[in-house]
Amino acid sequence: MRFSIRSFKEGTPPAEFEETLVLPDFARENVNVESISSVEVSLIASAESQVIFVSGTAKAEVEYECCRCLKTYRDNLVGEIREGFTERPDKENVEEDIHLLTSEWVDMDEYVAESLQLALVYKPLCRPDCKGLCGQCGHDLNVSDCGCEVKHQDPRLEALRDLLSAGDSE
C-alpha cells in the first residue's frame, strides 16, 4: 500500500485509503500462525506542521495453532496503525518518533505487518478451558479422558516425602 506525500499540504482535508493486502511471509515468520487471510487496511492521512500523520486499522482472519492441544482454530486479528512521516529532520521529530522520508512515496506494508504482529495472541488457546494433550500418551483431553494415571509430583519435594515416609515406619 503506497501513496505519494506530494498531495498533502497543511490545511488540506484528510485523505482516506482502503486496500486489501496479501502478506505472504506473515505465517512463516510466526510460529503459532498457520495462515492469514487477505488484510483489509483502512487508513486516514493528514498533514500538520510539515508532518504527515497516518492512522487506521488492519483487519485479517488468522488461523492459529493452539499451544495446548495443537489443533488449529480461526480468530480475528485487528492491528492499530499510528505513524508519522516527514521530509525535514529536526530535533522535535526525532523525539516524537517521526519517520524521515527519503522519497515522495510512503510504503505502508511494513507498518501494517508490524501492527498485526503486535496484535497477535502470545499463547493462542482454542478455548479458555482447553485441557491440552496427555503428557504420557498424547491423547487430546478435550475429547475424552485417556485413563492414564497422572501423578503430580514436584521433584523438589522428594526429600520431604522421604522424611514423611520414614516417620510412618517409626
- The pTM for the full model equals 0.75
Domain match, 110 and 136 both: no
| Alpha-carbon span 165 to 160, nearest angstrom | 9
Shared domain check, 112 and 136: no
Same domain, 139 and 161: yes
8 Å CB contact between 85 and 101? yes
Share of the chain above pLDDT 70, in %: 89
- Structural domain that includes position 10: 2-119
Question: What does the pLDDT look like over 21-48, one tens digit per residue?
Answer: 998 888 888 888 889 999 999 999 888 8
B/e letters for 80-111, b = 16+ CB within 10 Å, e = fewer, are ebebebbeeeeeebeeeebeeeeeeebebeeb
Q: What is the pLDDT of residues 103-156, one digit of tens each?
A: 888 888 889 999 999 999 889 999 999 999 988 888 899 998 888 876 767 778
Does residue 137 share a domain with residue 115? no
Name the DSSP class of 122.
S
Sign of CA dihedral 93, 117, 103, 15: negative
Does residue 127 fall inside a structural domain? no
* 4, 52 Cβ separation under 8 angstroms: no
